[in-house]
Structure 1
Amino acid sequence: MNAGAQTGVCYGRQGDNLPPPNDVVNLLKEQKIQRVRIYDPNQQVLEALQGSNIEVVLGIPNAYIQNISTSQENANKWVQDNVKTYANVKFRYIVVGNEVKPGDPFTQFVVPAMQNIQTAIFEAGLGKEIKVSTAIESGALGLYFPPSNGTFGSDYLEAYLGGVIKFLVNNDSPLLVNLYPYIIHISNPDDISVEYALFTSTSIPVKDNSLYYTNLFDVYVDAIYSALEKTGGNSVRIVVSETGWPSSGGTETTLDNAKTYNTNLVQHVKVGTPKRPAIPLETYVYAIFDENQKSSEYEKFWGLFLPNKQPKYPINLN
């Protein structure tokens, strides 16, 4: 099994009925899930991950970006407190910010914060093990169709993404992308069929030059690769840092659709995309659990497991 094809999970914690972190880590081990994304350096979660051998994608919440950008000392302290302290946690990436938008008040601080964290990681002697990145939403694309026309929105590039891409190239780091075919489909159901979003389409594939597209996921990933190529980011690898399908709470939200999407996804990412065939695509499914404190109804039902740790449907992420 190529390590790049291991599908990980996102450990969202916006629920008041979730099991304690030790139980969650035991569940990941039982399910042989080897990668997890967490959104902040929660002490209990990091303690539970110590010695587990599970690779961890650790987020720096948007609210902390400005503080970390203002001084190297702040970044060093953050790395000391949240990375160095947990010497037996296998950190894979530090993610500076999640879905930062051009108009956010902290946008200008993303790249300086990434640079400070990168310096702190190197000074801590962890430069070879840990990569620094940020996670963008697929909406950062100005154009996505056909995929070869993929370009980032000029507002994103000017606000911070241009600087991010230079940083990623210079540090051989991947770009993390949150990609939700479900949300893209429900916002445009007339043009994008549910089958095209679920990897089950039997209609004639979309042709783009010499490449053929049978699903929405590949269209977006390759559009982002095209956008990277147009902005000097040819060498940058994409990691899909969130994707999934809700099982309730909205249109097309059935257990069967959630199972279909996630099962097809796990198989699909092993073989890459039309633009990058045979290169497994590192991917993280949102989420481990349903989260009853999320705001909109359909956001509450993305879990692979119920809060009592029972799987909603059989799935093997490996």
Structure 2
Amino acid sequence: MSIVFLLVAILSIGLEFTGVQSIGVCYGVNGNNLPSRQEVIDLYKSNGITGMRIYYPDEEALQALRGSNIELILDVPRDTLSSLTDANQATDWVTKYVTPYSQEVKIKYITVGNEIHPDYNEAQYVLTALQNIQNAISAANLQGQIKVSIAIDMSLIGNSYPPKDGVFTDQAKSYLQPIINFLMNNGAPLLANVYPYFAYIGNEQSIHLDYALFNQQGNNDAGYQNLFDAQLDSVYAALAQVGGSNLQIVVSESGWPSAGGDGATTVDNAATYYNNLINHVKSGNGTPLKPGVAIETYLFAMFDENLKSGASTEQHFGVFNPDKSPKYQINFN
């Protein structure tokens, strides 16, 4: 009996360790008051942040990442997708932005398209660009180190509640099916940007703030204690409907704005969300549909970005201020 207990204890520690290693922070640079790339990498290291996402092949950032041991999601920008349908250009892209850094920078994922909807013009290029980047990665003998994928948002889910009945929209299904087959064949995860904040402000009549902030006590009728797990499981359920039940999901963005919106966008609510999300990921508990499965998660974002367009909340997702001071008290590790 004591041996069984010991094994369970060791397993629990292992799961928590996996969770601790799974916290990254997205690094956007759409501001005119941000620190240098080297200062930013130093800030990641001093705070024990072990993962980063960048949204284009920023060579200054890639240089600064050398030897840092920070795991990286490297995005292909939307305006580059069409060119990568040419296999030679895809090879050139990998030769320029990946191969020279691959020994000293821990590039983990290449994201070929972020939140490309099926009705976007760029959607027609995604699958071919994926295949060409994958072929170039394989030709460079990096397929064991780097996985090639896409990042989706929650708008591709047609039904999300209850989460076990999650499905993709019809348009998204036809767009994603060959991409999901590609990911399955190459052992790559699907990246998903999961924002309880946006779900909450879109349906405040039905969604309680505590549920969105991980503060709810007890489960709801569907068996969920927080909106993040419910959203994530609706994607898992949708994947199962199209043959992707074994596909892993990496949460490539999740955050809460501290200003710029309605009464929910406060510093206190944002701090609560980020801290509770980190603690949830660290726990290694997984979700109701995927219990015990570590949730690799990237917070959005490192800094407030004062040049971002769109809703005013877009400029207030940073967990650090541009002067590098922490906006909230967060323990990343």
TM-score normalised by structure 1 residue count: 0.96
Equivalent position to 2:266, from 254, 277, 283: 254
In structure 1, how many angstroms separate the alpha carbons of the residues matched to 2:18 and 2:29?
Answer: 27
Tell me, yes or no, if the aligned pair for 1:2 and 1:280 is still in contact at 8 Å.
no
Equivalent position to 2:201, from 170, 177, 186: 186
Instruction: State the match for 1:175 in structure 2.
Output: 190
In structure 1, how many angstroms separate the alpha carbons of the residues matched to 2:89 and 2:18?
Answer: 34
Instruction: State the match for 1:221 in structure 2.
Output: 232
Matches within 5 A, 1:74-89: 74-87=89-102, 88-89=104-105
Equivalent AA in structure 2 for residue 299 of structure 1: E
Deviation by residue 1:210-247 (Cα, 9 ceiling, x = unmatched): xx101111111111111011100011000100001111
Give the Å deviation of 1:4. Answer: 4.8
In structure 1, how many angstroms separate the alpha carbons of the residues matched to 2:124 and 2:181?
Answer: 15
In structure 2, how many angstroms separate the alpha carbons of the residues matched to 1:137 and 1:105?
Answer: 17
Q: Which runs of 5+ in 2 are unaligned?
A: 1-15
Equivalent position to 1:162, from 166, 177, 198: 177
Q: Which runs of 5+ in 1 are unaligned?
A: none
CA RMSD of aligned residues (A): 1.1
- Structure 1 residue runs of 4+, over 4 Å off? none
Give the Å deviation of 1:271. Answer: 1.8
Equivalent position to 1:279, from 270, 287, 293: 293
Equivalent AA in structure 1 for residue 68 of structure 2: S
Secondary structure of the equivalent of 2:215?
coil
Instruction: State the match for 1:147 in structure 2.
Output: 163
Equivalent AA in structure 2 for residue 291 of structure 1: E
Equivalent AA in structure 1 for residue 60 of structure 2: Q
In structure 1, how many angstroms separate the alpha carbons of the residues matched to 2:247 and 2:19?
Answer: 15
Secondary structure of the equivalent of 2:101?
coil
Q: What is the aligned residue count?
A: 312
Secondary structure of the equivalent of 1:33?
coil
Equivalent AA in structure 1 for residue 168 of structure 2: F
Matches within 5 A, 1:224-235: 224-235=235-246
1:73 matched to 2:73:
no
Equivalent position to 2:44, from 5, 17, 28: 28
Give the Å deviation of 1:16. Answer: 0.6
In structure 2, how many angstroms separate the alpha carbons of the residues matched to 1:16 and 1:187?
Answer: 31
Give the Å deviation of 1:2. Answer: 3.0
TM-score normalised by structure 2 residue count: 0.92
Tell me, yes or no, if the aligned pair for 1:15 and 1:294 is still in contact at 8 Å.
yes
